[in-house]
A and B are shown apart, each in its own frame.
Chain A
Amino acid sequence: MEQQPPQPNDSAQEKTLGFPPTPEAGGKVPPRPARRPPHEEEAPTEVLNERGQATAAALGRVVGSRASSSGGRDDIPWVLVMPDHLFEVLSLMKEHPETKMDMLHLLFAVDYLDHLQLIYILASLSLNQKAMVKVDLPVAGDDAQATVDSAVALWEAAGWYERETHDLFGVRFEGNPDMSPLLLYEGFEGFPGRKSFPFNEYTEY
């Protein structure tokens, strides 16, 4: 099903698809953008640009040794912290004058089969920067649930995000006053966001 990748700038192999027209063929050719190197052979690089590096530096100063690892792409750096330090790190990032993250932009979980990763994307509107805080929760399989401190005290937006993550991934947030199902109906069994939830075993009604 896959097409042979075109090799436009390789003069040895003049393999053309016939479209778009080439100047040799007499057609009008629009200026072609520089071709990127093939993606598959490239090692994945997550590179921070200037803005991202400045934010990463501030992040490093604020979070300090609580971060197990860090990285980032473009202008959003991330740090990985332990679940115990999570609330501390989040409140530091909210209060510290170098980061001043006043908005919780997004909170969600990713299911990497042997663990769940919670990702908090925080935004600072005053300093115009963004950062991510990641937490690895050792949860695997169908039913096990992990518990994390809730961020509702810091940002009100966390309330609904946490309810949604609880619905879909089964992460319990302690301190959230209302953990009733948000998106799913009462009595839904299972956590549909997880990869272990079967995709093809749906019921019509």
Chain B
Amino acid sequence: MATEYDTGQTPETVDMMLNMGPQHPATHGVFRMVLAVDGERVVDLVPHIGYLHRGSEKLMENETYAQVITLFDRLDYVSNFNNELAFVRAVEKLMDLEPPERAMYIRVILCELNRVASHLLFAGTYALDIGAMTPVMYTFRERERIQNLFESVSGARMMHNYIRIGGIKEELPDDFVHRTRKLIDELRRGVEETDKLLTFNEVFLARTRGVGMIDAATAISCGLTGPGLRASGSTYDVRKDDPYEIYDRLDYDVPIGEYGDSWDRYWLRIQECYQSLRMIDQCLDQLEPGPIMPQMRRIARPPKGEAYAHCENPRGDIGVFVVSDGTNKPYRVKVRPPSFCNLVALRQMVQGSYIADAVVVLGSLDIVLGEVDR
């Protein structure tokens, strides 16, 4: 039946705007993506952030250096020790202060344990985004073990406020070394369990292999660092290229990926867990008794100047730039959040793939909104 619609032309279509709003089970926090989709294919992606912008940097200008450390805990709220370390290192550079050896070893042990905890959380929630509801239970069980240890060290499961300017807050508990050695074995088995469940699982491979590929040059131009960049073949790791603390005395490998897709980013993090456990073992062997804090004033008052220090967060390269004006409060603190820069690359990775792949890619980037928005 000929109607007015049979003009012989194809109908005009418009891309649909799909809003994956600030509240979404798969967006790892308050992150909003507006996708322009043509059928099921994503044509364009506009990320909107700022739903967790708490004004930390302005607050930091009005708090003493010790209080600023507590704010840093809450930036990347999954890897607290690494954030504290970045800030404390910047202030120590300003004050030309070198922490005692034991403090450095303890800091590295705690940072690496935190890295394992963070990657476990990533693995669990990534699998949850993809649809597997079991691995998250296992990884969180392993995380509970680590958090128990952290609780015995610093008193808190999450916001530790333990790494201080010059060293650390207080001495480790007596059974720490023994407990940590046992914990390393348990964690190795735990990470292996998640590894066996997910890494070469056919469904997981089908969902993540070849999804969200990015090459190294684009990634570097976007400012991507950390496992996201290393998956594309670059070897940039702050611990190797710009060693800080006692990383140059440890023997470890940095896993490098090949294709720059989501599976590589996931696999890298699992391998990093194993390497971290190796590092912790070596640190425990090399740990010697000694002081944990040099003799210094209680209220840090760095001389005028500015300093920049960067560390390897589980998400990438966290940098802290501190400008001091000689008083007990910093003049300006600027954080270079790795997740902020990782998000810039999201658009490149998702264009042309399916909507479901957008979720997969976002999960593989492992962003933490507290850091993105500060």
Q: Do chains A and B touch in the complex (CB under 8 A)?
A: yes
**Which residues of A does B touch, CB under 8 Å?**
1-3, 5-6, 8, 20, 30-33, 35-36, 39-40, 42-46, 73-76, 102-106, 108, 110-111, 119, 121, 125, 128, 132, 155-157, 159-160, 168, 181-185, 192-193, 197, 199
Contact B344 A30 (CB under 8 A): no
- Apart from A30-B291, A74-B93, A156-B223, what are 4 other A-B pairs with CB-CB below 8 Å? A5-B297, A73-B306, A106-B321, A156-B344
With contacts A103-B221, A110-B323, A193-B58 taken as known, whether A39 is within 8 angstroms of B303 at the C-beta atoms is yes
* Surface stretch bound by A, among B48-56, B138-146, B150-158: B48-56
With contacts A5-B297, A192-B55 taken as known, whether A110 is within 8 angstroms of B223 at the C-beta atoms is no
Q: Is B124 an interface residue (CB 8 A)?
A: no
Write 21 A-B pairs (CB below 8 A) sorted by A numbering: A20-B291, A31-B290, A32-B294, A32-B295, A33-B291, A36-B97, A39-B301, A42-B303, A43-B303, A45-B96, A74-B93, A102-B217, A105-B223, A121-B321, A121-B336, A132-B308, A156-B218, A160-B340, A193-B58, A197-B58, A199-B61
With contacts A35-B295, A183-B53 taken as known, whether A155 is within 8 angstroms of B221 at the C-beta atoms is yes
A75 to B238 alpha-carbon distance, docked (Å): 14
Pick from A5, A33, A181: contact of B100, CB below 8 A.
Answer: A33
Contact A156 B221 (CB under 8 A): yes
A75 to B309 alpha-carbon distance, docked (Å): 10
B residues 304-357 touching A (CB-CB < 8 Å): 304-308, 317, 319, 321, 323, 326, 331-332, 334, 336, 340-341, 343-345
Contact A125 B220 (CB under 8 A): yes
Pick from B62, B291, B332, B336: contact of A199, CB below 8 A.
Answer: B62
A46 to B242 alpha-carbon distance, docked (Å): 19
Q: Is B222 an interface residue (CB 8 A)?
A: yes
Which A residues touch B220, using CB under 8 A?
Answer: 102-103, 125
Contact A185 B295 (CB under 8 A): no
Q: In the complex, which of the residues B93, B294, B332 has the most CB atoms of chain A within 10 Å of its own CB atom?
A: B332
Which B residues touch A132, using CB under 8 A?
Answer: 308
A102 to B100 alpha-carbon distance, docked (Å): 35
A40 to B49 alpha-carbon distance, docked (Å): 41
Which A residues touch B98, using CB under 8 A?
Answer: 33
Q: What are the nearest 5 A-B pairs in CB distance?
A: A157-B223, A183-B50, A183-B53, A106-B336, A44-B303
Shortest beta-carbon distance, B281 to chain A, in Å? 24
Which B residues touch A8, using CB under 8 A?
Answer: 295
Which A residues touch B343, using CB under 8 A?
Answer: 160
Q: Is B234 an interface residue (CB 8 A)?
A: yes
Total interface residues in chain B, CB < 8 Å? 58
Q: Is B132 an interface residue (CB 8 A)?
A: no
Contact A44 B305 (CB under 8 A): yes
A40 to B324 alpha-carbon distance, docked (Å): 12
Which B residues touch A5, using CB under 8 A?
Answer: 297
A84 to B18 alpha-carbon distance, docked (Å): 42
A76 to B336 alpha-carbon distance, docked (Å): 16
A33 to B289 alpha-carbon distance, docked (Å): 13
Q: Is B251 an interface residue (CB 8 A)?
A: no
With contacts A121-B321, A155-B223, A192-B58 taken as known, whether A36 is within 8 angstroms of B294 at the C-beta atoms is yes
Q: Is B298 an interface residue (CB 8 A)?
A: yes
Q: Across the interface, name the chain A residue whose C-beta is closest to B307.
A: A73
A3 to B61 alpha-carbon distance, docked (Å): 23
Contact B344 A157 (CB under 8 A): yes
A45 to B62 alpha-carbon distance, docked (Å): 25
Q: Across the interface, name the chain A residue whose C-beta is closest to B103.
A: A33
A6 to B298 alpha-carbon distance, docked (Å): 10
Contact A105 B222 (CB under 8 A): no
Shortest beta-carbon distance, A42 to chain B, in Å? 6
Chain A proximity mask over B90-118: 1 for CB below 8 Å, otherwise 0: 00010111101010000000000000000
Which B residues touch A160, using CB under 8 A?
Answer: 340-341, 343-344
Which B residues touch A185, using CB under 8 A?
Answer: 50
With contacts A36-B294, A125-B236, A183-B50 taken as known, whether A73 is within 8 angstroms of B93 at the C-beta atoms is yes
